[in-house]
Structure 1
Amino acid sequence: MSTTEDAANETSTGSTPTRPAPQRGPMGGRGPMGGGGAPVEKPKNFGSSLKRLMGRLRPESFQIISVTILAVIGVVFSVLGPKLLGEGTNIIFSGAISAQMPAGATKAEVIAGLRASGQDQLADMIAPMQLTPGEGIDFAALGSVLLGVLALYVLASVFMWLQGFVLNGSVQRTIYRLREDIETKLNALPLSYFDKMQRGELLSRVTNDIDNVSQSLQQTLSQALTSILTVIGVVIMMFSISPVLAGVALVTIPLTVLITVIIGKRSQKLFVSQWKHTGELNARIEETFTGHSLVKVFGRQKETNAEFTAKNEQLYGASFGAQFVSGIIMPAMMFVGNLVYVAIAVIGGLMVASGQMLLGDVQAFIQYSRQFTQPLSQLGSMANLLQSGVASAERVFELLDADEQSSDAAAPASAPLKADGGSGRLVFDDVTFRYTEDKPLIEHLNLVAEPGHTIAIVGPTGAGKTTLVNLIMRFYELNSGRITLDGVDIATMTRADLRGRMGMVLQDTWLFGGTIRDNIAYGRSDATEEEILAAARATYVDRFVRSLPEGYDTVLDDEAGNISAGEKQLITIARAFLAQPSVLILDEATSSVDTRTELLVQKAMSALRSDRTSFVIAHRLSTIRDADLIVVMENGHIVEQGTHSALLVQGGAYYRLYNAQFEAPAIEDAELHAVEALLERGAEPAADTEEGAA
């Protein structure tokens, strides 16, 4: 198979103990996600993060300008409504007063009569009104006003809907680009990043946090723009009606800002903590679910439940605190708004009674005071969403800011491809590598792998066997020295070109949810049906697939639990066979299958290794006795190399490993010989097809 970054995650769980210490899983080991705990959250810079988030809307500048224009028009229509309704109130009130006056008299005569009778306050109230004594309510004028109000509110609604429609598209395109950037970033990150990051935590950042950013932008941008424009429009209208009452209403602004700042500072830290604990809880759930069988096997349900409960309580505390503290903003704003409302009603009533204002103007002003305090309350409550969204954005930006792997060379080289199969010569030239600067691992290693040869790498756990493979694939960069492929330094090749020449079969089989045909074809996307079937026949996949009801169209579930471990491994070998790589890497490919299935796997791998350079990492030394070269590693050094028989004669490290493993090999050898005899007679061993045969 052409190795991708997906394979990197499988290869990364190698046997080297010198990597940064990962967090232990529920079963006491690394855990399925293979990563360390998330770092402790530090205080975040809200301002810069918000500015950066808003900066991602820059490609939508034209749409944002359109949204602003639509919002301005909608707000203008909306704020004109109360003023026009006030005119209607004045028509009704003036008509009701005029109906009680004697017909034929003038307004001036009526006012003079009231003053003569000592009713000065009533006279002052009538003085600013426009009325004709004895006429009553002008229903024609009132109808025109009501129709005008209806038209204003309809137009305001239309423009607000258009604003929301355009803004929704802009936000979703912005989030779309953000997801694309994250996908690109994930492919550019070095394997060491995934070694240190919990899988559940990473998934939380690219799913939950991005969704939260999307919802926050969607809900806050529209409301914030409309609220700010409404405040501006309402202030203008209030000053046009009564500067005195407008001054009373403006007292709300500093109180609103003060309350928002005080509460916002407290809630920001709580929202950061909330999303941090969300990621940690997701990581715990993902780890436990992936290792569900082992949790039950070792009876660790109680401990796992206790760990989940502890994380869940931490998330509950952080979420409750964040929502509670930020939720105080809205009631506080409503309290301030109600105080202003009472003040305006009292002062406005006195001004009407003294003739300084008309009743309709007071009514309009009271409506404006509500329109004024409502957006201020919305702006305050939006701090809740904004705090949460910025906290999530910061976590996403941390991922986007992570150090990437070194770039490919500006003018990349390419190893020659030879038609005679002579390609695939790998040379390790004075290679030195360490995961951390203070812990040496591989020091001054030299090794030559000739084309078509099989190189077996053996040694105790932690010797650096899988690390050697990771260096070939450029999952990690060398500290010094170089590795060449057919004379070309792999550091000068693009990673895609290098890995396109490599095939890998791992101990942990990786199959995706899809048909068996699709899983084999993953090795080469342009493969024909005949090539897929040929690869399946060559690797013994065809034998068991034809016994399945759906054949090659059998759909594998997420864990490929409907076929056995050995059958999974055969499919991965077929996938690599189809890719026809120059260099083949087999990392403990038979360690998880039974003895009978192992022979099938070995024969499939023999076909796969034909005419190509192969690196075989194995603990079962019986699987590599026929290798052209056996390399024995200890503590990152090659301590011995040679053929199986030559190394046994030397009586060194390989001899000790071999004897320790085969003090009583007779039973296994006898069983293998019996299976080989069956194959030679044309029969097939009864491979274990039960789930979990390993």
Structure 2
Amino acid sequence: MMGKISSLLKLTPFIKKHKLVFIAGIIGMLLGSVIATPIPYIIGIIMDKVLIAKKGYNQLYYYIGIIAVFYVLRYFISIFSNYMFVKINNLVVNELRCTVMDKVMELPMSYLANTEKGYVQSRIAECSTVGSIFSPSYVGIVLSLTDAVLALVTMFAINYKLSIVILILTPLFFFSSKMSMGNFMKNTKEMLEYNATLNGECFEIINGIEDIKILNGKNNHLKKFNDKLSKLVKSSLKQSKSMIIFMGNITFINNFGSLLVLLIAGILILKGEFTVGLYTSFSLYITKVFSSIQGIGTMGTMIKPVCLSIERVYELLDMDDENSGKD
């Protein structure tokens, strides 16, 4: 089975060389999560103690100023951490490209003669896909778990009854997200392979265009190209369909989860056990929790294609070169 998460460990030697940059980026993202945690609670205070209570402008300016300070701090920290991940992305990808190109030059002539050059070229190009694992959006999915934990702790401090409802909904949301993935990975693997073979055919046509014209082989090569293109289109449509159904299921579950929380919060507000401001804070924290759980539950849809690319690149790196078995 291809696309295993454990394939990410194969990047360890490349990351170790730039570990300080990687660690700095992670610390920056964690600090950003901590700084952002109090903001929804302060917004709730503004709703209850300032706007509804009509306390005056000074308190409004005070709380808005605090939120502004948090936003400014998070802005600079975010710029720093994102730059660190962009930097390590480039460093790792370029080093991986050099390693793969070095390996290709050492491959046996028998393999290179029987394999389309475009196919090999597409494998080398997949190094760029591997680098996307270091993008802030990918790393943010993993670190969003910190956001979810901090949000849940704050929610329990606000109202434990509603927090228990969220805890019950969370595993349901997680498994629903995971199960909704369906055949996405299977279709992605198929699409990558068809894309590689199509690139190979395209390269061969362009590389041998003079011979094709001399030998009047246009129709034959064009038929092969169209056949491979048709397979890629069908595979791409199947992958898109899987993603559309997946996203629809996620939206449906998210909407009904929020509706249930609104119902319970409304009952508590009518009983005088909750306030509109606290519900506002709660809603913002719920968004953090649900988006984090959704990200973790759907991690495979984003990370597994990268794992597939890593494994496909390592199929080349793990091949015996032309000096294998010789003294």
CA apart distance, 1:268: 1.6
CA distance in structure 2 between the aligned counterparts of 1:327 and 1:162, rounded to whole angstroms = 34
Q: Secondary structure at the match of 2:17?
A: helix
CA distance in structure 1 between the aligned counterparts of 2:255 and 2:63, rounded to whole angstroms = 29
Look up the match of 1:394. Answer: 311
Provide, for residues 332-385 of structure 1, a one-character-per-residue CA deviation record: whole Å limited to 9, x for no partner.
222222112111112112212222223211110011112222333344555433
CA distance in structure 1 between the aligned counterparts of 2:188 and 2:14, rounded to whole angstroms = 22
Decide which structure has greater strand share: 1
2:25/2:85 contact within 8 Å kept: yes
- Relative to 1, partners in 2 of residues 1:243 and 1:163: Cα closer, same or farther, differing over 3 Å? same
- Relative to 1, partners in 2 of residues 1:302 and 1:187: Cα closer, same or farther, differing over 3 Å? closer
Report 1:591-606 matches (<5 A): none
Query: What is the identity, as a one-letter code, of the residue corresponding to 2:34?
Result: V
CA apart distance, 1:78: 1.3
Look up the match of 2:212. Answer: 295
Look up the match of 1:313. Answer: 230
CA distance in structure 2 between the aligned counterparts of 1:219 and 1:323, rounded to whole angstroms = 24
Look up the match of 2:161. Answer: 244
Look up the match of 2:58. Answer: 140
1:84/1:145 contact within 8 Å kept: yes
CA apart distance, 1:154: 1.9
CA distance in structure 2 between the aligned counterparts of 1:370 and 1:281, rounded to whole angstroms = 42
Which consecutive residues of structure 1, in runs of 5 or more, have no partner in the other structure?
A: 1-42, 97-136, 408-476, 478-490, 493-694
Look up the match of 1:269. Answer: 186
Q: Secondary structure at the match of 2:183?
A: helix
Query: What is the identity, as a one-letter code, of the residue corresponding to 2:264?
Result: I
Query: What is the identity, as a one-letter code, of the residue corresponding to 1:142?
Result: L
- Relative to 1, partners in 2 of residues 1:253 and 1:215: Cα closer, same or farther, differing over 3 Å? same
2:72 to 125, 149, 154: 154
Q: Secondary structure at the match of 1:57?
A: helix
Provide, for residues 160-197 of structure 1, a one-character-per-residue CA deviation record: whole Å limited to 9, x for no partner.
22111111111211112211211221233222231332
- Relative to 1, partners in 2 of residues 1:260 and 1:61: Cα closer, same or farther, differing over 3 Å? farther
CA apart distance, 1:400: 0.8
Does residue 195 (structure 1) correspond to residue 113 (structure 2)? The answer is yes
Look up the match of 1:346. Answer: 263
Identity %: 20
CA distance in structure 1 between the aligned counterparts of 2:219 and 2:323, rounded to whole angstroms = 44
1:171/1:217 contact within 8 Å kept: yes
Q: Secondary structure at the match of 2:18?
A: helix
Look up the match of 1:75. Answer: 33
Report 1:462-481 matches (<5 A): none
Q: TM-score, normalised by structure 2?
A: 0.91
Look up the match of 2:95. Answer: 177
CA distance in structure 2 between the aligned counterparts of 1:304 and 1:197, rounded to whole angstroms = 17
Provide, for residues 626-667 of structure 1, a one-character-per-residue CA deviation record: whole Å limited to 9, x for no partner.
xxxxxxxxxxxxxxxxxxxxxxxxxxxxxxxxxxxxxxxxxx
CA distance in structure 2 between the aligned counterparts of 1:308 and 1:66, rounded to whole angstroms = 47
CA distance in structure 2 between the aligned counterparts of 1:220 and 1:95, rounded to whole angstroms = 40
CA distance in structure 1 between the aligned counterparts of 2:316 and 2:170, rounded to whole angstroms = 38
Query: What is the identity, as a one-letter code, of the residue corresponding to 1:78?
Result: A
Query: What is the identity, as a one-letter code, of the residue corresponding to 1:162?
Result: F
CA distance in structure 1 between the aligned counterparts of 2:182 and 2:19, rounded to whole angstroms = 30
CA distance in structure 2 between the aligned counterparts of 1:341 and 1:55, rounded to whole angstroms = 44
CA apart distance, 1:297: 2.6
CA distance in structure 2 between the aligned counterparts of 1:155 and 1:405, rounded to whole angstroms = 55
Query: What is the identity, as a one-letter code, of the residue corresponding to 1:206?
Result: I
2:174/2:293 contact within 8 Å kept: no
What is the total number of aligned residue pairs between the two structures? Answer: 327
1:78/1:152 contact within 8 Å kept: yes
Query: What is the identity, as a one-letter code, of the residue corresponding to 2:152?
Result: V
2:139 to 202, 222, 225: 222
Does residue 85 (structure 1) correspond to residue 43 (structure 2)? The answer is yes
Look up the match of 1:47. Answer: 5
2:100/2:317 contact within 8 Å kept: yes
1:260/1:383 contact within 8 Å kept: no
1:88/1:360 contact within 8 Å kept: yes
Decide which structure has greater helix share: 2
Look up the match of 1:232. Answer: 149
CA apart distance, 1:259: 3.1
1:248/1:340 contact within 8 Å kept: no
Look up the match of 1:58. Answer: 16
Query: What is the identity, as a one-letter code, of the residue corresponding to 2:253?
Result: V
Please tell me the root mean square deviation across aligned C-alpha atoms, in Å. 2.3
- Relative to 1, partners in 2 of residues 1:145 and 1:164: Cα closer, same or farther, differing over 3 Å? same
CA distance in structure 1 between the aligned counterparts of 2:290 and 2:13, rounded to whole angstroms = 29
CA apart distance, 1:330: 3.0
Query: What is the identity, as a one-letter code, of the residue corresponding to 2:212?
Result: V
CA apart distance, 1:82: 0.6
Query: What is the identity, as a one-letter code, of the residue corresponding to 1:79?
Result: T
Q: Secondary structure at the match of 2:274?
A: coil
> Greater CA deviation, 186-195 or 73-82?
186-195
* Higher gyration radius (CA): 1
Which consecutive residues of structure 2, in runs of 5 or more, have no partner in the other structure?
A: none
Q: TM-score, normalised by structure 1?
A: 0.45
Provide, for residues 432-460 of structure 1, a one-character-per-residue CA deviation record: whole Å limited to 9, x for no partner.
xxxxxxxxxxxxxxxxxxxxxxxxxxxxx
Provide, for residues 225-284 of structure 1, a one-character-per-residue CA deviation record: whole Å limited to 9, x for no partner.
442222222122212211221222233432343234334462222111111111100111
2:45/2:277 contact within 8 Å kept: yes
CA distance in structure 2 between the aligned counterparts of 1:202 and 1:301, rounded to whole angstroms = 24
Provide, for residues 10-41 of structure 1, a one-character-per-residue CA deviation record: whole Å limited to 9, x for no partner.
xxxxxxxxxxxxxxxxxxxxxxxxxxxxxxxx
- Relative to 1, partners in 2 of residues 1:51 and 1:266: Cα closer, same or farther, differing over 3 Å? farther
CA distance in structure 1 between the aligned counterparts of 2:53 and 2:178, rounded to whole angstroms = 49
Query: What is the identity, as a one-letter code, of the residue corresponding to 1:392?
Result: S
- Relative to 1, partners in 2 of residues 1:341 and 1:377: Cα closer, same or farther, differing over 3 Å? same
- Relative to 1, partners in 2 of residues 1:376 and 1:78: Cα closer, same or farther, differing over 3 Å? same
Q: Secondary structure at the match of 1:206?
A: helix
CA distance in structure 1 between the aligned counterparts of 2:214 and 2:49, rounded to whole angstroms = 84
Query: What is the identity, as a one-letter code, of the residue corresponding to 1:198?
Result: E
CA apart distance, 1:290: 1.7
CA distance in structure 2 between the aligned counterparts of 1:377 and 1:327, rounded to whole angstroms = 15
- Relative to 1, partners in 2 of residues 1:159 and 1:328: Cα closer, same or farther, differing over 3 Å? farther
CA apart distance, 1:50: 3.2
Query: What is the identity, as a one-letter code, of the residue corresponding to 1:292?
Result: I
Look up the match of 2:292. Answer: 375
CA distance in structure 2 between the aligned counterparts of 1:219 and 1:163, rounded to whole angstroms = 8
Query: What is the identity, as a one-letter code, of the residue corresponding to 1:185?
Result: K
CA distance in structure 1 between the aligned counterparts of 2:170 and 2:30, rounded to whole angstroms = 21
